[in-house]
Amino acid sequence: MPRKILFVIFLFQSCLLFAQSRSKLDSLKSRFDQETSDSLKIVLGIEISRELHRNQQGEEEEYAYAQKAIEDALHLKDTLLYARALDNFGLLYRFHQHYREAIDFHIKAFNLVESKKVKPYYKMRFANNAAVAYRYVQKYATSVFYFMKALKIAEKEDDLRNISISNTGIGNALSNIPGREDEALQYFLRAIEAEKKRGKDLGIAINYQFISGYYIDKEDYTTARDYLSKLLQLNKEIKNELGLAITHELLGVSYMKEGRNLTKAASSFENALGRFKVLNNLPKQAAILKNLGNVQLKRDNLTGAENYFQKSLALAKKLQQYELVSANSIKLCEISEKKNNYQQALRYYKQANTSEDSIKLTDQNVRIEMLTRKYNIEKKESQIQLLQKDKALQQTVMENQKQKLEQRRLISFVLAVGLLLLFVIFLMQYRNYRTKKKTNARIQKKEKERMKAIYERNLAQSEILVTRLQINPHFLFNSLNAITYLIQSEQNSKAIKYLKIFSKYTRMVLETSKQDVISLQQELKLANYYLILEENRFEDGFKFRITGSNLPEIEEVDIPPLLLQPFIENAIWHGLLPSTREQRMLDIVIVSKSKSIEITIDDNGVGRKAQENQNNLKKHKSMGMQIIKERIQLYNKSYAEKISYKIIDKKNESGQTEGTRVVLVLLQDSSVNTEMKI
């Protein structure tokens, strides 16, 4: 295809890409203006600065968006976003070839995140960018140091892309350190290996380019051109026009430095020049024209050389590449001297000096501008740090005030608790006094008649009435008599033991009397104390066992306090004590089922029929069972859980009485219909 047609196609594609870039830039700016999230706005500001550079919209606007991103990240106090904004600012300096100015920003970005828990990608990126900037200012050892940091992270993360980037960077830096050039090759080869694993031909091509440059520097032109041949073929396969242009440029450099085949050198440079023209890459065109001039100088073709240097000079002036202007002017000065045109030589010499002055002036302006921007950023940092210190001071003052307030509250709380404890102690003492008084009153009156009268007077206060009946006055009276007897008969150790259990039992009764319900474990503990007291009081009158009191399922089960005691009293007094059996036994068994807890009170006494033979016992049973029934009814109305019970008269095969069994069922599922059986 003719080169003119290629150029037209490329021009059309360039226009299309430019239009797309403009559309993308407008879209980014629109999103930036509408964005309400501070974090996203910072990211958009960074993207806009890059897009402005790609569209070559002007350095000032690029730096304005980049600096705004830095200031916003500072105010947001987001370390990672601040580091990204700083790194972006350094990249903009690098894009404009202000490498020395870029270093501070890349280093600061890396130092901010090096010890932080951020994505490893950012640590690698910032370290690699710092290393590249150091390489451009010829601080190769420092460059290797930062490339090595990035490589260490990349290898730990198995990040092939960054492994390749870091190895390539180390190779480029080492190839510029005297005495360490040979080490560079192994890093280029490692980079190629990583790119092959990634399947990225472009990465392989870049490293072939660096390896060929490495061999050109070593003046091993044959090996250099072997790699350039591979590079040429690879760029053709991936249709990389820029890569092809660079490859032909390097071929021209190898032939020119070798000096054996200047025709091939000129041909390669011409090929590269044509391709850079199609790509509209003016800086590269200027550099190639200068090299063509050098080839003609080697041929002693002064006129041809002069022509190329003048073309390169014109482009360099247009691009404001003062270093290239100076280099071309020096070459033209030398040619004019050889032609004995000293006036023209002097003019070119002055132009070279003027360019050097322009370079210095530009560097100074850039340096001043960079220092100004850096000063503004540091000023912002100082202001924010000062604000943070003021805020911290205010926070400290507030914390001190808060601590004082907390101390006052604590003192008030301790005093309140102390007063409450004193009140509780007084209340308990007063309660004990009243309990004793009531106990003496209960001894003089019939328990059942009084309970019935109180219950009928006010059903709503039935629980209060029940608590007054929680301790059988006869039991208390008899227990106190038993203790008195033991003391009088000088059985002191036994009296102390009996008194300890009696005091524990009495205290538990007092503590639970104010509660509507207590845990089944507490109830079983009360029953155990009661049975120990009764067993000791009647000596060999009966024995008892409690089975299943340690089941974990009963920890959350609640019942009315002293619900079991009436059943146990009946079993002892009206079942076991009247019995003539040699071994009189009371068994309490707790069994956990899927939705219920079953409590069995089993005795081998005389049974209910024998009890009913005595009129007073029948009346006692009737009154006791009525109270139990009313307490259970009240509980079932008040709580979701339900209680039912039944009394079974045990008989043997011949129909003789074997005792009595009471079975209480505590249902945990309120939806189950319950029925009390007596």
Residue range 584-633, pLDDT digits in tens: 999 999 999 888 999 999 999 888 776 665 545 454 454 567 778 888 88
| pLDDT score at 379 | 58
Q: Are 595 and 658 found together in one domain?
A: yes
| pLDDT score at 84 | 92
Q: Are 97 and 218 found together in one domain?
A: no
| pLDDT score at 673 | 47
Decide if 131 is inside a domain: no
**How many other C-beta atoms are found inside a 10 Å radius of the C-beta of residue 456?**
9
Contact at 8 Å (CB) between 338 and 302?
A: yes
Decide if 289 is inside a domain: no
Handedness of CA 144, 147, 148, 151 (dihedral sign): negative
Q: Are 109 and 170 found together in one domain?
A: no
What would the 3-class secondary structure string for 284-307 be?
HHHHHHHHHHHHHHHCCCHHHHHH
Q: Could you tell me the CA-to-CA distances from 588 to 302, 451, 548, 607, 661 in Å, in that order?
A: 124, 27, 9, 17, 10
Residue range 634-656, pLDDT digits in tens: 888 888 889 999 999 888 888 88
Residue range 421-451, pLDDT digits in tens: 888 888 888 888 888 888 777 777 776 665 5
Cα–Cα dist 436/442, whole Å = 10
The domain boundary residue, chosen from 232, 262, 279: 279
Number of separate domains in the chain: 4
Cα–Cα dist 253/128, whole Å = 28
> 472 by DSSP, 3-state: which?
coil
What would the 3-class secondary structure string for 404-427 be?
HHHHHHHHHHHHHHHHHHHHHHHH
The domain boundary residue, chosen from 84, 118, 152: 118
| pLDDT score at 524 | 92
Q: Could you tell me the CA-to-CA distances from 233 to 51, 215, 563 in Å, in that order?
A: 33, 19, 99
Q: Are 143 and 172 found together in one domain?
A: yes
Which of 268, 243, 191, 251 shows the shortest CA–CA distance to 215?
251
293 CB burial (10 A radius; 0-12, 13-18, 19+): buried
Residue range 84-114, pLDDT digits in tens: 999 998 898 888 878 888 898 999 999 999 8
Boundaries of domain holding 45: 24-118
Q: Are 208 and 251 found together in one domain?
A: yes
Whether the model clears a pTM of 0.95, i.e. scores above it, the answer is no
Mean pLDDT calculated for residue range 322-331: 85
455 pLDDT exceeds 50?
A: no
Q: Are 655 and 516 found together in one domain?
A: yes
Backbone angles phi, psi at 493, to 5 degrees: -60, -40
Q: Are 520 and 643 found together in one domain?
A: yes
Beta bridge partners of 663: 600, 646
Q: What CATH number is given to the structural domain containing 223?
A: 1.25.40.10
Q: How confident is the model at residue 517 (pLDDT cuts 50, 70, 90)?
A: confident
Q: How confident is the model at residue 276 (pLDDT cuts 50, 70, 90)?
A: very high
Q: Are 598 and 631 found together in one domain?
A: yes
Cα–Cα dist 527/565, whole Å = 6
Decide if 39 is inside a domain: yes
Q: What percent of the chain has pLDDT over 70?
A: 82
Cα–Cα dist 414/392, whole Å = 32
Q: Are 76 and 32 found together in one domain?
A: yes
Decide if 673 is inside a domain: no
Q: How confident is the model at residue 16 (pLDDT cuts 50, 70, 90)?
A: very low
Residue 554 per-residue DSSP state: G
H helices present in 513-614, as ranges: 520-537, 565-571, 607-612
